[in-house]
Amino acid sequence: MKLTIAPRSPKSRKFPVTLEFAGSPADVRVEDVQGAIAEKFPQLYPDRQRLTVEKVALETGKTLSEYGLKDGDSVTFKDLGPQISWRTVFLIEYGGPLLIHPLIYYLPSLFYGKDFEHSQMQFVAYVMVMLHFLKREYETVFVHRFSHGTMPFRNVFKNSAHYHLLSGLNLAYWVYGPWNAAGTTLGERSDFLVYGCIALYIFAELSNFHNHVTLRNLRPPGTRVRKIPRGYGFEWVSCPNYFFETLVWLSVSVLTMSWAAHLFFVVAVGQMYIWAVKKHKGYRKEFTDYPRGRKAMFPFIA
């Protein structure tokens, strides 16, 4: 069969082109088309391609006949630009705070112009932040299975800014400063508050990790299979991993009582709630038997 690849942009110099495939539309899969395009234009590897028919994106694993395409029809091509793997993006995002926090914590004279002894609150906050992002890096390498392999390279700078600036530079600078040092009024915390925050933090981190393992086990290696998540936390909300991460940053925010921690908490929770609502709606649309009583992110609320 023949298939015409039409450009989305009228200024394209490569397209339209007509490709020939052995077999009928019921035999030719989307990845066959992507491979043929990549063979003709090596720089346009499959992850960089977006193929659509009447604004409906073609998904790998499906045949052309499933989209009603026939011999001689055309699909629209869009170049998504240079791509970077989601795993690499996550490693870069979480790596920022892991570099920034130790620099500011251990080199105070470089950032504040003098050395001083850190308070118990500052030490505990430092350990919390470092363990959190080390856990995120571990999950990125050994736990997560990504439904989308790549994202546009240009987006890595926008995504990283959230972590490098808000939970990295801004949070570290204002929490580890001399105004919170040992012996200062602002740096003092009761044992009840400190250990209460530590307990909440540990509970939330372990719960969040459990949720990530549950999500991993839903998807066999090398596939994009989607199933209804069940088990601890998922009986209450669609995204308990976001809910428990909210508790993680709540413990840091309450412990430090820093405006920088409060700011990151609000921004992070707001962003996670947007993602949770989107995923919640996606689950309900995709699965007709999806539990109706579940909320998006906050148990019994929303």
Neighbours of 245 (CB within 10 A): 22
Residue 286: burial class (beta carbons within 10 Å; 0-12, 13-18, 19+): exposed
* CA distance readout (Å), 219 to 86, 136, 224, 227: 16, 19, 7, 8
Write the pLDDT tens digit of every residue in 169-206.
999 999 999 999 999 999 999 999 999 999 999 999 99
- Stated as kind and residue range, the H or E segment containing 152 is strand 150-152
pLDDT at 61 (0 to 100): 86
pLDDT at 223 (0 to 100): 66
Write the pLDDT tens digit of every residue in 110-150.
999 999 999 999 999 999 999 999 999 999 999 988 766 78
Write the pLDDT tens digit of every residue in 66-87.
999 999 999 999 999 899 998 9
Provide the residue ranges of all domains of the chain, joining segments of one domain with +: 2-80, 84-286
DSSP secondary-structure letter at 143? Answer: T
Phi, psi of 50 (to 5 degrees): -130, 115
pLDDT grade for 55, boundaries at 50, 70 and 90 = confident
Residue 181: burial class (beta carbons within 10 Å; 0-12, 13-18, 19+): buried
Selecting from 3.30.590.10, 3.40.50.970, 3.90.70.10, 3.10.20.90, what CATH number does the domain 2-80 have?
A: 3.10.20.90
pLDDT at 222 (0 to 100): 64
- Return d(Cα 231, Cα 211) in angstroms, integer: 9
41: pLDDT strictly greater than 90:
yes
- Return d(Cα 203, Cα 271) in angstroms, integer: 22
Share of the chain above pLDDT 90, in %: 84
- Return d(Cα 127, Cα 149) in angstroms, integer: 32
* CA distance readout (Å), 194 to 83, 90, 121, 122, 205: 43, 30, 7, 11, 16
